[in-house]
Chain A
Amino acid sequence: MKTLITGTVMLSVIVIMLLISWIDLPSDPNAMNIANRFAPPSGEHWLGTDQYGRDILSRLLLASQSALTVSLGGVGSGMLIGCILGAVAGYMKGLIGSVIMRAMDVLFAFPNLLLALMLVTVLGTGQVNVLLAIAVFSVPSFARLMYGFVLEAQSYGYIKAARSYNAGHAVILFRHLIPAALPRIGVQMSLALGSGILTETALSFLGLGVQPPHPSWGGMLNEAQSFMYLAPAYPLIPGFVIFLAVAGFNLLGDGIAARHKEAVS
C-alpha cells in the first residue's frame, strides 16, 4: 500500500509538470541571456539558469512533454503488438507459435540500449525514432507475458466452458483471455514505462534523442555534466526529475502487483 501511494505521489509531480507545460510556462524556455548564465535560484528563475542564461524550470517543464509522450507511445505500441503476438503464439501453438516466440528470443538477445542505438542509427535521431526503438524492445517482454498467461489459462474452467459451447477463437481470445490478463499487463506496462523513460533520457543524454535547442531531461543532464565544475548544482536538477519519473512508474508497478496478489489470494 505504501509503495502504491509513494509511486502515485511521485508520478503526480511529473503529471503536474506536464499539465503546467501545456497551460503556460513561467518564461520562454529558449530565451538566452548570456549575462545571466548560471544564475542561482531567484524569484524570476525559481531553479536558476543554465549555460546560456535560459530558465531551467521552464526547460524542465517543456521537456516533460517529449519524455512522457515518447515513452508512453513507445511502450503502448510495444504492449499492443507484444500482447497480440504472445496471445496468438500461445493460442495457436504449433509452427506459428514457435516461429513467433523464436523471433522474440532473437529480440531478447539484444541489450535494450544496444537495440535502441542500432535503430536510431538506421532511422536517424529524433523523437519518433526513439519512440519506435522503445516500442521494438518492449514487444518481447509483453509477448512472453501473454504467451505464458494464455498457456496457463487453457486449463481454466471458463475457457474450457467457452470451448465446449463452441465459442470462436476470436471470442475466446479477445473476450476471455485478454481481459483476464489485464492486471498483469498493467503491472508490466508500469515497469516498462520506467525503463522507457530511462531509455528516452539515456538516448537524449547521448545526443541521439530530442535535438537541441529543444529541451530534454537527458540533454539537460548532458549539458550539466560539461559545466559541472562551474555549476555543481545544475546536474542535481534534471537527474532528480528523471529519477522521480522512473521511481514513480516502478513503485506504481510494484504496488499494483502487490495489491493484485492480495486480491487474488
Chain B
Amino acid sequence: MSYLAQRLLIAILLVFLVSFASFAVLMLLPGDPVRLMLGTEAPPHLVEELRAQYGLDRPWLLQYADWLAGAVSGNLGESFIYKMPVTQIIVDRLPMTLSLTIFASLMALLIALPLGIWAAVKRGSWVDGFIQAVVQIWIAIPNFWLGILLLLGFTVMIPLFPPGNFVPISEGLGAHLHSLFLPALTLAIAEAAVLIRMFRASLVEVLNKDFMTFAHTKGLPTRKKYIRYALRNSLIGPITVIGLQVMSLISGVIIIEQIFNLPGLGRLLLIAVQQRDLFLLQGLVIFITVTVILVNLCVDLLYTRIDPRIQLHATKRRTT
C-alpha cells in the first residue's frame, strides 16, 4: 500500500470514529430537544408525533446509521430551529468564516515571518531576546480580551472601523476586508505569536548546521545563503504544525465572531449550543473535525513532497 493510500485510509477511519463519538455524546443529551422546541406545556401526543417525525423515538444506533447514510451523500439532517437542511445553513454561513480565517492567517504570516527571521538571524543578540520576551508575554493574552481592547481602541477612541456592520464580499472586496479587519487582526495577533516562535526555532536549527557554515566559509552572498539554503530547509518544521494552528484558529473564531457580532459558523455553533439544536450541532462538529482531519492529511502529503525522506522512512518501517 502506498503512503498516500495509507494516510487516506487512516483519515477516513478517523472521520468515521469522530462522527460516531460525537453522535453518541450528543445523544446522551438530558434535555429533550422536542420538549425544548414545543415548551413544557405541550400536549404529550404532539410531542410523540414530533419525536416520530424527527426519528428520535428509535434506538440511537439506528438513528446514527440513518444519519451516516445521509451524511455520506451530503445530507446532515434538518435543523430544529431554522427548519432548514443543516448542510444549507452551513454553506450559507461558510464564506464569512472562510474569509475571516484566510484574512487572519495571511496577516499572521505577514507579522510572524519577518519577526521570526529577524530573531533567528540575530540570534543571541538583544533584538532576539527582546522579540522572544515579547512573544512569551503576548502568547498569553486571551483573544477575547484582545478583541474587546481593539474594539474599544479603534471604534471608540480612534473611530477607524465602525462597529458591528459586516459587509459581505458581494458588496466589494475593499469594504468586505475593511469590515473584517479588526476581528482578523485579533485572530492574527494570537496566531502570529506562536508562528514567530516556530519560525525562529526551525531557522536557528538550520543556521547551526554544517552546510550553513560551509556556505559561509565559501563566501556565498548573504541573501543567497539565507534564502536558497536556510529558509527552504527551515520550512518543514512550521508546516507540520499547520494542523494545530487550524484548530486554534477554529477555537478563536467561535469567540471572535461572538465579540464582533459576525454571522459566521462560530456564532451558528453557539446558537446551536444554546438552543440545543441537535442536528445542527452534530453537523457543525462533523464539518469542523473533517476540516481539521483534511488539513492534517494535506500537511502529511505536502511534506512528503518537500522532504522525500519522510516517505522513504515510512516505506522502510513497513517492510521491516
**Smallest beta-carbon distance B97→chain A, Å:** 13
If A111-B247, A111-B292, A121-B273 touch, whether A206 touches B145 (CB-CB below 8 Å) is no
The tally of CB-CB contacts under 8 A between chains A and B is 116
Q: Report if A114-B250 is in contact (Cβ < 8 Å); known contacts: A120-B273, A243-B140.
A: yes
Interface residue B212 (Cβ < 8 Å from any Cβ of A): no
Answer yes or no: B46 CB below 8 A from chain A CBs. no
Query: Contact residues of B with A, CB < 8 Å?
Result: 14, 17-18, 21-22, 25-26, 28-30, 136-137, 139-142, 144-145, 148-149, 151-152, 156-157, 247-248, 250-251, 254-255, 258-259, 269-270, 273, 276, 281, 285, 288-289, 292-293
Q: Is the CB of A246 within 8 A of B142?
A: yes
Distance in angstroms between the alpha carbons of A47 and B148 in the assembled complex = 19
- B145 near A109 (CB under 8 angstroms)? no
A121 near B29 with CB under 8 A, answer yes
Q: Which residues of B contact A51 (CB under 8 A)?
A: none
- Whether the pair B293, A242 counts as a contact (CB closer than 8 A) is no
Extra pairs beyond A118-B285, A201-B142, A221-B148 (16, CB < 8 Å): A102-B17, A109-B18, A109-B293, A111-B292, A113-B251, A114-B288, A118-B25, A118-B26, A121-B281, A202-B144, A205-B144, A206-B255, A228-B151, A232-B152, A240-B145, A254-B136
| Contacting residues, chain A, for B28 (C-beta < 8 A) | 122
Taking the complex as formed, is A131 at the interface, i.e. its CB lies under 8 A from any CB of chain B? no
Say whether A186 faces chain B, with CB atoms less than 8 Å apart: no
Interface of A is mostly: helix
- CB atoms of B149 and A235 under 8 A apart: yes
A residues in contact with B144, CB < 8 Å: 201-202, 205, 218, 221
Q: Which 3 A-B pairs have the closest CB atoms?
A: A239-B145, A247-B140, A113-B251
User: How far is the CB of A126 from the nearest CB of chain B, in Å?
Assistant: 13
A residues contacting B by CB (< 8 A) are 3, 102, 105-106, 109-114, 117-124, 194, 198, 201-202, 205-206, 208, 218, 221, 224-225, 228-229, 232, 235-236, 239-240, 242-243, 246-247, 250-251, 254
> In whole Å, how far is B76's beta carbon from the nearest beta carbon of chain A?
16
Question: Which of B136, B149, B157, B255 makes the CB contact (< 8 A) with A251?
Answer: B136
**Which A residues touch B281, using CB under 8 A?**
118, 121
CA of A201 to CA of B148 in the docked complex: distance in angstroms? 14
CB neighbours of B250 from chain A (8 A):
111, 113-114
Contact residue among A205, A243, A246 (Cβ-Cβ distance under 8 Å from B255):
A205
CB atoms of A229 and B156 under 8 A apart? yes
> By the criterion CB–CB under 8 Å, are B22 and A228 in contact?
no
Chain B residues closer than 8 Å to A117, beta-carbon distance = 254, 269-270, 273
Whether A112 contacts B145 by the Cβ 8 Å rule is no
Give every chain A residue within 8 A of B247 (Cβ-Cβ).
111-112
Given contacts A109-B289, A119-B25, contact A198 B142 (CB under 8 A): yes
Is the beta-carbon distance between B273 and A239 smaller than 8 angstroms?
Answer: no
- Min Cβ gap A198→B in Å is 6
User: Which residues of the other chain, B, contact A124 by a CB distance below 8 angstroms?
Assistant: 30
Minimal Cβ-Cβ distance residue in B for A242: B142
